[in-house]
Amino acid sequence: MSYRVNAIGAPITLVTIGDSITLFGSIVDDSGWVWMLEQDYKPSNGKVVNRGIGGWTSRRWAPHLAHDILEWGGAPTPPDLVTICLGANDAVLPALDPDLQHVDVHEYIANLDQMVAHLHSTFPSCKVLLITPPAVNNALTFESAQPTAGSLRENNETGQYAAAMVALGEC
């Protein structure tokens, strides 16, 4: 069976959930990761639905997912694959976070676990792919930070969120 069709032979439907990394992943000029998926699945009439929302965290997504799923329920077929790419905003340093995006790593994992469980209970045949937050270039981040505020992101902090997501995915 081709990876571009599901078990019943219908074109694959992918839904990407995340923050601005996902949202801007559809930008052609940047060869974004969501755009690449769209290009790969387009020839077989596959569908990629980008649900990236800039600035969002797992705390915002967890309760919103149930509402978002209701919209998918009207689709001809449920999603075959849902990607969850969250953690970059959750890992913002709490002391320097003016927008209060920071989410404690334990709450972050609980939110992700809730989201995955909800997806599996609603769409039993759907696969869920967890995508860790990307590494932070400390030198570049600190260089571009405002002198009075400091950097909002640090690689060691973000790495804790990535490791926690990997551990959740291995369960």
| Active-site annotation, residues | 20
Cα separation, 113 vs 133, whole angstroms: 16
Q: Per residue, what are the HEC states of the chain?
A: CCCCECCCCCECEEEEEECHHHHHHHCCCCCCHHHHHHHHHHHHCCEEEEEECCCCCHHHHHHHHHHHHHHHHCCCCCCCEEEEECCCCCCCCHHHCCCCCCCCHHHHHHHHHHHHHHHHHHCCCCEEEEECCCCCCHHHHHHHCECCCECCCCHHHHHHHHHHHHHHHHC
